[in-house]
């Protein structure tokens, strides 16, 4: 505090004064006081205060007051500069004395701080809340930063917003995040003005919602293309309702697929049958939810594998003869079922109705076989193996085509002649010429026999043939057979064992 020497009254001094105190009223006004410490009898004095900004050389004066006794006096100094430091002193004069002054003292005008008020917390969730405040006055500052500081009641742990800069009075709102569910917090608004002044408002209390929670409770396989999912909404987290469903993906995939949503208005269970999956595949599944207050929740990820697919096969179809074929197949996978009915089916090619050749009950994988009889010769047939599992699954093997053998026909003798040579000797010499054919194309042998009148075969010749036709000639010579007759017998045989015989007669 600066100070100048006060005038000291001697024996001739009629009046003396001292500077006593000064208090701020507001950002532009101060009340300052002095004290008349001595005054001659029957005298009155004029008193006033002088003031100037710190560092100035020019004094300003208040209005003068007249006093007729010792004691304090004061004046309100107005129009001051907010936050500035001033020097001031008390002064006095009487009719019989010169002017005197008290010591020079200093005071600082009160600053003009910002004014702020907090509002109630809004949009409170389990992890966030929107805080509001109204800055009614910036004081002498050009701008200010508004920050909300939040802490659990009774805790030193704080969470602060990032802050907003304002250049005028008005409302400010910020969302504070990373709060704990079901916790009571108190929030204080802090205003940091650009001129160094600060202001606070609050605290205002609010309680975060309970947490929105969903769980993945269980998964189960239905069959090779479907699984059963179950989950729960444990807590809606203060929301009125939520949409709950399940996400799923093949294990190893990155993208989740979403089931249809179910809207719930209270905690409880949610079930879903997921269909259209791939057989024998492992899936990851989890419950997921979206509350109406924009909270989201996800349950634990579980894995489930679909069954392998129920499968049968048609392995082969083999011709037995012209009226029968054998069909071989099997059950390659029961697809999780306990048993299955396997059927061998057939139909004439070009028809629509399948006929049953054999139906077999099986309790494990393995081969099945059936011989289909009563078919038409030389006809195309379609055959297949089908199955119906005990869990309702069905399967069909490949359709195979088979053609029955044509009905066997006997070979034919197209021509058969004997060319006899005349001789003066008692000998018989001739050539058997023949042409044979077979519609089945499976000629095998041609045998020519010479039979005497007693039925004995005296000569024979056999020729191997093949295909659908053949021709040949066999020569014979019989000696000393004068006046004897012989039968020439030709027999043609095919590979199926069918044969045809014709005879001719020769004589010496």
Q: pLDDT by residue (tens digit) across 258-271?
A: 999 999 999 999 99
Q: Are residues 430 and 384 in the same domain?
A: no
For residues 208-212, average pLDDT: 88
Give me the residue label for tokens 């519609």.
439
Structure tokens at 336: 């999780």
Q: Are residues 301 and 315 in the same domain?
A: no
Q: Are residues 318 and 368 in the same domain?
A: yes
Provide the CA 374 distance to its chain's centre, in angstroms: 58
For residues 66-86, average pLDDT: 91
Is 101 part of any domain?
yes
**The domain boundary residue, chosen from 239, 273, 305:** 305
Q: 303-360: per-residue pLDDT in tens?
A: 998 888 889 999 999 988 889 999 999 999 988 889 999 999 999 999 999 999 999 9
How many Å apart are CA 103 and CA 91, to the nearest integer?
9
Give me the residue label for tokens 């209270």.
266
pLDDT at 11: 40
Structure tokens at 371: 């011989």
How many Å apart are CA 287 and CA 216, to the nearest integer?
5
Q: Are residues 120 and 192 in the same domain?
A: yes
pLDDT at 141: 81
Per-residue confidence at 13, pLDDT binned at 50, 70, 90? low
Per-residue confidence at 152, pLDDT binned at 50, 70, 90? very high
Q: What is the DSSP letter of 467?
A: S
Q: Are residues 416 and 501 in the same domain?
A: yes
Q: Are residues 427 and 501 in the same domain?
A: yes
- 3-state secondary structure string, 239-268? CCCEEEEEEEEECCCCCCEECCCEEECCCE
Q: Are residues 317 and 299 in the same domain?
A: no
Q: Are residues 422 and 398 in the same domain?
A: no
- First vs last Cα of the chain: how many Å apart? 178
Per-residue confidence at 8, pLDDT binned at 50, 70, 90? very low
| Residues in CB range of 202: below 8 A, 6 or more apart | 118, 186, 187, 188, 189
Is 2 part of any domain?
no
Structure tokens at 222: 């239905």
Is 383 part of any domain?
yes
pLDDT at 2: 40
Is 258 part of any domain?
yes
For residues 130-153, average pLDDT: 89
Q: Are residues 149 and 219 in the same domain?
A: no
**The domain boundary residue, chosen from 108, 128, 156:** 108
Is 395 part of any domain?
yes
| Residues in CB range of 156: below 8 A, 6 or more apart | none
Among residues 83, 87, 109, the alpha carbon closest in space to that of 23 is found at: 109
Find the DSSP H helices in 286-409.
none
| Backbone conformation region of residue 378, classed left if phi is above 0, alpha if psi is from -120 to 50, else beta | left
**The domain boundary residue, chosen from 85, 108, 131:** 108
Q: What is the DSSP letter of 80?
A: P
Q: Which domain holds residue 373?
A: 311-403
pLDDT at 5: 43
pLDDT at 176: 92
Q: 352-365: per-residue pLDDT in tens?
A: 999 999 999 999 99
CATH number assigned to the domain comprising residue 346:
2.60.40.10
Per-residue confidence at 3, pLDDT binned at 50, 70, 90? very low
Q: Is the pLDDT of residue 453 over 50?
A: yes
Domains of the chain: total: 5
* Of 108-122, 283-297, 447-461, the least confident: 108-122
Q: Are residues 173 and 235 in the same domain?
A: no
pLDDT at 10: 45
Is 363 part of any domain?
yes
Q: Are residues 392 and 361 in the same domain?
A: yes
| Residues in CB range of 155: below 8 A, 6 or more apart | none
Which residues on adjacent β-strands are paired with residue 372?
A: 325
Q: What 3-state class would DSSP assign to 117?
A: strand
Is 7 part of any domain?
no
For residues 104-129, average pLDDT: 88
Q: Could you tell me the CA-to-CA distances from 119 to 116, 176, 184, 313 in Å, in that order?
A: 10, 14, 16, 76
For residues 412-437, average pLDDT: 89
Is 230 part of any domain?
yes
Q: 40-74: per-residue pLDDT in tens?
A: 888 899 999 999 998 899 999 999 999 999 999 99
Q: Are residues 272 and 346 in the same domain?
A: no
Q: Give the helix, strand, coil percentages of the chain, each rounded to 5.
A: 0, 60, 40
């Amino acid at each position: 505090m600066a100070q100048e020497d006060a005038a000291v009254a001697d024996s001739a001094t009629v009046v003396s004064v001292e500077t006593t105190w000064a208090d701020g009223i507001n950002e532009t006004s101060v009340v300052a006081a002095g004290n008349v410490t001595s005054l001659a009898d029957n005298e009155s004095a004029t008193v006033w205060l002088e003031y100037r900004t710190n560092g100035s050389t020019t004094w300003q004066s208040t209005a003068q007051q007249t006093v007729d006794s010792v004691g304090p006096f004061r004046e309100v100094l107005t129009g001051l500069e907010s936050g500035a430091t001033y020097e001031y002193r008390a002064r006095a004069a009487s009719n019989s004395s010169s002017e005197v002054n008290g010591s020079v003292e200093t005071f600082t005008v009160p600053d003009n701080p910002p004014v702020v008020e907090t509002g109630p917390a809004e949009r409170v969730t389990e992890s966030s809340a929107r805080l509001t405040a109204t800055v009614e006055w910036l004081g002498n500052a050009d701008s200010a930063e508004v920050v909300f500081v939040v802490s659990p009641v009774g805790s030193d742990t704080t969470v602060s917003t990032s802050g907003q800069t304002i250049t005028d009075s008005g409302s400010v709102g910020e969302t504070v995040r990373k709060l704990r569910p079901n916790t009571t917090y108190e929030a204080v608004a802090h205003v940091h003005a650009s001129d160094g002044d600060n202001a606070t408002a609050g605290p205002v209390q609010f309680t975060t919602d309970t947490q929105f929670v969903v769980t993945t409770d269980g998964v189960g396989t239905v069959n090779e293309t479907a699984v059963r999912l179950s989950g729960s909404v444990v807590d809606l987290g203060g929301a009125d309702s939520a949409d709950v469903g399940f996400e799923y993906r093949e294990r190893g995939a990155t993208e989740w697929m979403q089931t249809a949503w179910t809207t719930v208005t209270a905690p409880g269970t949610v079930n879903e049958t997921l269909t259209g999956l791939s057989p024998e595949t492992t899936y990851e599944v989890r419950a997921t939810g979206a509350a109406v207050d924009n909270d989201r929740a996800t349950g634990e990820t579980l894995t489930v594998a679909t069954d392998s697919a129920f499968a049968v096969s048609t392995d082969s179809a083999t011709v037995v003869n012209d009226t029968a074929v054998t069909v071989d197949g099997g059950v390659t996978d029961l697809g999780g079922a306990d048993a299955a009915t396997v059927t061998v089916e057939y139909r004439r090619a070009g028809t629509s109705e399948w006929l049953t050749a054999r139906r077999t009950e099986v309790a494990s994988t393995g081969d099945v076989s059936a011989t289909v009889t009563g078919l038409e010769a030389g006809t195309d047939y379609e055959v297949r193996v089908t199955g119906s599992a005990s869990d309702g699954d069905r399967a069909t093997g490949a359709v195979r085509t088979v053609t029955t053998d044509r009905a066997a026909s006997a070979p034919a003798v197209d021509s058969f002649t004997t060319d006899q040579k005349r001789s003066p000797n008692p000998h018989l010499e001739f050539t058997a010429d023949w042409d044979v054919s077979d519609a089945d194309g499976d000629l095998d042998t041609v045998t020519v026999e010479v039979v005497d009148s007693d039925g004995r075969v005296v000569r024979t010749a056999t020729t191997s043939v093949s295909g659908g036709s053949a021709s040949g000639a066999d020569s014979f010579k019989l000696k000393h057979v004068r006046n004897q007759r012989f039968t020439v017998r030709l027999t043609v045989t095919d590979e199926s064992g069918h044969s045809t015989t014709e005879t001719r007669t020769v004589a010496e």
